[in-house]
Structure formats: C-alpha cells, structure tokens
Amino acid sequence: MSLNKRFLKRFVPLVAIILISHIFLSFLEVLGLKTQSNLILDAFLFLIFALGAIIIGPGLDKEPGNFVNRFLILTTLQLLSAMSVLAVLVFMKTPDVRRAALQFIAVFVILLAIQSFFLVKGVKKPLVKR
C-alpha cells in the first residue's frame, strides 16, 4: 500500500472522530458554545485538513527528498487558513468570540500534531539498513 493511501486511511478517520467528538461535546453543552457555531468551525477545520491532505498526499510517494518543503508549505497554508477563520470571527463580531477562538485553536493544534506525527512517521527512513 502506498504511503499516501496509508496516511489517508489513518488520518481521515481520526480527524472525523475528533471533530465528531467536539460537536458531540458541544451538543451536550459541555463547551459553552452553541452547537451551530461549533459545527461551522469544525467544518472549516475539516476543510483545512482535507485540502492539506490533497496538497501533500500526491508527493509523498514520488519524491521523499522534497517532503520537507511540502510539509512546510502545508503547515504554513493551514496556519494562515486557521488565522483567516479567526479573523473573520473577530471581524463579524461573533458573540463569545474568545471561547470560540480558543476551542478552534485547541482542536486545530490537536489535528496539526496528529497530522505531523503521521506524516513524519510515514516518511521516516530507518537509519541502519538490516
């Protein structure tokens, strides 16, 4: 199985589980935000990470030496996208923007860490050949 398929097979279900859990906690009113707000923010997170998989996925199998450049571009685009979503929240004067922004950033950082772990684990070469 190619590295791209392994990455997608592991990462996409984990993203879905995390975002569904976040929406479920919102539905139970544990997080203090309206479910609709969290649904919209989680949809943006899913879009950011789905587009990220499209950006980095095709190059995982072809040029492993080019991985660092693609990874940095991916992370930069995802961070800029996330900050743009937060800027829109502030610009629209969303009620309870602080709580929404903190939750958005928390979920974003968790997803970014998981994505980075899977990508680095997937392309890491053993140091000693056996």
Other Cβ atoms less than 10 A from the Cβ of 34: the count is 15
Q: Residue 122's pLDDT band (boundaries 50, 70, 90)?
A: confident
Q: Identify the H or E element spanning 50.
A: helix 35-62
Region 6-32: what's the mean pLDDT? 84
Give the pLDDT score at 1.
61
Q: Identify the H or E element spanning 111.
A: helix 97-123
**Distance from chain centroid for Cα 84:** 15
Reply yes or no on whether the pLDDT at 85 is more than 90: yes
Q: Residue 28's pLDDT band (boundaries 50, 70, 90)?
A: confident
Average pLDDT, the chain: 83
Q: Provide CB contacts within 8 A for 73, sequence distance 6+.
A: 55
Give the pLDDT score at 64.
63
Q: How far is CA 112 from CA 29, 39, 43, 82, 101, in A?
A: 25, 19, 15, 11, 16
Alpha-carbon span 57 to 48, nearest angstrom: 14
Q: What is the pLDDT of residues 48-78, one digit of tens each?
A: 998 888 777 776 666 667 778 888 888 999 9
Give the pLDDT score at 118.
84
Give the pLDDT score at 125.
54
Alpha-carbon span 68 to 124, nearest angstrom: 11
